[in-house]
Amino acid sequence: MSEKMSDESWAFERDYTAGAEHIDELGHVNNAEWVRWIQDIAVSHWNAVAPDEHRETYIWVVSRHEIDYRGNIKSGETAHGRTRVSGEPRGARFDREVQFVDGEGKVLVSALTRWAMLDRETMRPARITSEIAAPFLTSSPRT
């Protein structure tokens, strides 16, 4: 998997290549694998952008996935994943958009996911401050 910060409207991007273990009885990537990739790209974005002290203090959980399956890939093929935070945080909640496209740019899978931030120590919801949100509201990589 390769990853990069995007200079477009997508804040974070990463490629996913389907292996034999990702393929279902229909001969393409299983829906459960797409969900794993949705979670992986979101967590990878957090790890790439959030400062160390935020990553050590907070953890994210999914409260909702809304997924549209429009296409698929087979073993050995690659889907280009891209993600961004959608809108402003609301309390402990951030919405996130994720898309996977093929080599031609055709959208294979799109998702709107809702994430809640928890305090790692108490495992209780924690309000997303402007300081925590700032790196996700721009496409600037962490230095």
As beta bridge partners, residue 50 has none
* Residues 75 and 19: beta-carbon distance below 8 Å: yes
**What is each CA distance from 81 to 3, 4, 36, 38, in whole angstroms?**
9, 10, 12, 8
Residues 55-85: pLDDT tens digits? 999 999 999 999 999 999 999 999 999 999 9
pLDDT of 9: 85
As a dihedral over the C-alpha atoms of residue 110, residue 111, residue 112, residue 117, rounded to 10 degrees, the angle is -140
* Residue 9 to residue 53: CA distance in whole angstroms: 26
User: What rounded mean pLDDT belongs to the chain?
Assistant: 91
* Residues 60 and 42: beta-carbon distance below 8 Å: yes
Annotated domain spans of the chain: 3-134
Residues 102-135: pLDDT tens digits? 999 999 999 999 999 999 999 999 999 999 999 9
Instruction: Tell whether the model's pLDDT for residue 5 goes beyond 60.
Output: no
Q: 3-5 and 93-101 as β-strands: parallel, antiparallel, unpaired?
A: unpaired
Residues 24-54: pLDDT tens digits? 999 999 999 999 999 999 999 999 999 999 9
In CATH, 3-134 is 3.40.50.280: no
